Amino acid sequence: MAARSGKVTVVGAGFYGSTTAQRLAEYDIFETVVLTDIIEGKPEGLALDLNQSRPIEGFETTVVGATTGTDGSGYEQTADSDIVVITAGLPRKPGMSRMDLIETNAKIVRQVAENVAKFSPEAVVIVVSNPLDEMTALAANATGFPKQRVIGQAGMLDTARFTHFVAETLGVPVASVRTLTLGSHGDTMVPVPSACTVDGKPLADVLDQAKIDELVDRTRNGGAEVVALLKTGSAYYAPSAAAARMAKAVAEDSGAVMPVCTWVDGEYGISGVFLGVEAEIGAGGAKLFNEPAPTETELAGLKAAAEAVRAKQADVAEL
Ligand code: APR
């Protein structure tokens, strides 16, 4: 039987949080998955339901539900988590940009982050609440944790969307496609065509530029497309898959290379900003490595993204 260890907490038991908790529990690598929410009974009910799926799905991880208060009550059940995934916050409605959520979600994420720091001072924190780059910066600030221990989930999702669109367009398995996006989770997302391949061949050899541009555009608006169809709420299957994989890489200290939102200070000639780049994910959080050189155009895009998010990240310090 596989060894199980560690405790992971998912804050926010909405669509994103509950599916993340489900994926984490089904990995069957953790001792405990804790799911919390401010809606009384919701996390407990979902935990009970998830636990009852254990004999069918065949996992032994225990799921614990805990209602929390904004005063920090209930957080004792999350104490000493190794990993905390923050999904608390409002999702978009059709027509909204992620940035429209900034004031509301900043208050929520700040309060959550302060409690996480108090109850799980050694945790690696994975932020998914939107607007992502700003909420990651805010959580790092509010926890006071070393910056590499606070990571935002965006790049995994954006690349998954891009990969799906390329695979669908070409009628090839997703496994034969590799894509990469860096920058922000939003308007300044930076596709990196030089790192995109299909069966090892450069993307530009198998798709014409107009088609690539169209797919990049669809990727950039990938979240909005889902929001417009759902009408209430935003995407959660692909997002939760991405967040859960990041948590797994931390738990297993795998050093897997993933595009994530992390503190960039010197790399790519960019300093002092949380930005989407590739990093090794392990027990200490995100570690930047000797980054591959993007092309001049890609680098210019990354620098523009850095400046765009830098301004907004300064704003959240006041929220
Ligand atoms: N502590 C814990 N949970 C909270 C708090 C808080 N302070 N404030 C709100 N929540 C909970 C809500 O009660 C709700 O159950 O967060 C949950 C959010 O769930 P959904 O509304 O279903 O939203 P979801 O789709 O899960 O998205 C969550 O992820 O992708 C982003 O933009 C999205 O910011 C949003 C977040």
Confidence of residue 273 (pLDDT cuts 50, 70, 90): very high
Written in H, E and C, the secondary structure of the chain is CCCCCCEEEEECCCHHHHHHHHHHHHHCCCCEEEEEECCCCHHHHHHHHHHHCHHHHCCCCEEEEEECCCCCCCHHHHCCCCEEEECCCCCCCCCCCHHHHHHHHHHHHHHHHHHHHHHCCCCEEEECCCCHHHHHHHHHHHHCCCHHHEEECCHHHHHHHHHHHHHHHHCCCHHHEECCEEECCCCCEEECHHHCEECCEEHHHHCCHHHHHHHHHHHHCHHHHHHHHHCCCCCCHHHHHHHHHHHHHHHCCCCEEEEEEEEECCHHHCCCEEEEEEEEEECCEEECCCCCCCCHHHHHHHHHHHHHHHHHHHHHCCC
pTM, two decimal places: 0.97
Our mutation pick for probing the ligand 1 site, out of 22, 40, 234, counting the most ligand atoms within 8 A of Cβ, is: 234
Q: Is the CB of 228 under 6 A from ligand 1?
A: no
Atom from ligand 1 closest to the CA of residue 236? 25
Per-residue pLDDT for 251 more than 70?
yes
Task: Say if CB 50 and CB 63 are below 8 A apart.
Answer: yes
Confidence of residue 318 (pLDDT cuts 50, 70, 90): confident
> Residue 122 CB: number of other CB atoms within 10 A?
9
- Closest by Cα among 177, 79, 187, 85 to 128: 85
Tokens of 249: 């890489």
Quick one: CA torsion of 256, 31, 74, 149, rounded to 10 degrees? -20
Q: What is the pLDDT of residue 248?
A: 98
Cα separation, 51 vs 78, in Å, equals 17
Q: Among 14-28, 37-51, 64-78, 284-298, name the one with the lowest average pLDDT.
A: 284-298
CATH architecture of 155-316: Alpha-Beta Complex (3.90)
Per-residue pLDDT of 80-131, as tens digits, reads 999 999 999 999 999 999 989 999 999 999 999 999 999 999 999 999 999 9
Tokens of 13: 């038991």
Token pair 């926010």 in the structure block, residue = 12
Atom from ligand 1 closest to the CA of residue 129? 34
Q: What is the pLDDT of residue 2?
A: 60
Q: Is the CB of 88 under 6 A from ligand 1?
A: yes
Bond into 131 cis (ω within 30): yes
Annotated active-site residue in 110, 161, 164, 185 = 185
Q: Is the CB of 13 under 6 A from ligand 1?
A: yes
Ligand 1: residue whose CA is nearest its atom 5: 88
The count of C-alpha atoms lying within 13 angstroms of the C-alpha of 18, restricted to the half-sphere facing its C-beta, is 15
Q: Is the CB of 78 under 6 A from ligand 1?
A: no
Confidence of residue 158 (pLDDT cuts 50, 70, 90): very high
Task: Say if CB 255 and CB 285 are below 8 A apart.
Answer: no
Per-residue pLDDT for 315 more than 90?
no
Cα separation, 139 vs 122, in Å, equals 14
Q: Is the CB of 20 under 6 A from ligand 1?
A: no
Q: What is the pLDDT of residue 319?
A: 82
| Whether residue 185 lies in the annotated active site | yes
- How distant, in Å, are the alpha carbons of 14, 28, 249, 262 from that of 257? 28, 22, 9, 13
Per-residue pLDDT of 13-56, as tens digits, reads 999 999 999 999 999 999 999 999 999 999 999 999 999 999 99
- Listed by start position, the domains of the chain span 7-152, 155-316
Ligand 1: residue whose CA is nearest its atom 14: 14
Q: What is the pLDDT of residue 266?
A: 93
Topology match between the domains 7-152 and 155-316: no
Q: List the CATH code of the domain at 7-152.
A: 3.40.50.720
Mean pLDDT computed over every residue of the chain? 95
Q: Is the CB of 108 under 6 A from ligand 1?
A: yes
* pLDDT mean over 60-72: 96
Task: Say if CB 181 and CB 190 are below 8 A apart.
Answer: yes
Residue 227 sits at the vertex; the CA angle it makes with 225 and 231, to the nearest 5 degrees, is: 125
Our mutation pick for probing the ligand 1 site, out of 10, 15, 93, counting the most ligand atoms within 8 A of Cβ, is: 15
